[in-house]
Amino acid sequence: MSQVRLSIELGVSQETVSAYENGKHYPSVQSLIKLSEIFGVSCDYILGLSEQPHNVIYHSLDEQDRKFISDFKALSLPNQEKVRAYMQGLFDSVGK
């Protein structure tokens, strides 16, 4: 991905993205989270705190579960809340 494209995705200047890459500046927490979502890796991986792109829990999931999580995260917050409420209803109906 080009610096220009990434800067558009993050809502920052191309110069800021260049500074991130060169270690002159660190991204804000908000930008760090967006970077994690864009590249599908953990914040720890981006920050160089882990050599694993994903956390251990993510690796333990099968492809169908990872897709579910990805699809869920793509939903708007109100729709995520609807999914949570639906799931809670299912759990309540089976006594979990």
Place of tokens 């610096």: 3
Judgement on whether residues 40 and 12 belong to the same structural domain of the protein = yes
Judgement on whether residues 14 and 52 belong to the same structural domain of the protein = yes
Judgement on whether residues 76 and 54 belong to the same structural domain of the protein = no
- Supply the range of the domain harboring residue 32: 1-59
Number of domain units in the chain = 2
pLDDT in tens, 44-75: 888 888 777 765 566 677 889 878 888 888 88
d(CA 67, CA 61): 10
Residue 27: which of 9, 38, 12 has the closest Cα? Answer: 12
Judgement on whether residues 87 and 52 belong to the same structural domain of the protein = no
Query: Is the full-model pTM beyond 0.95?
Result: no
Q: At what angle do helices 3-10 and 29-39 cross, to 10 degrees?
A: 120
Judgement on whether residues 73 and 55 belong to the same structural domain of the protein = no
Judgement on whether residues 30 and 71 belong to the same structural domain of the protein = no
Domain harbouring 50, CATH code:
1.10.260.40
d(CA 58, CA 50): 14
Residue 44: which of 57, 54, 30, 31 has the closest Cα? Answer: 54
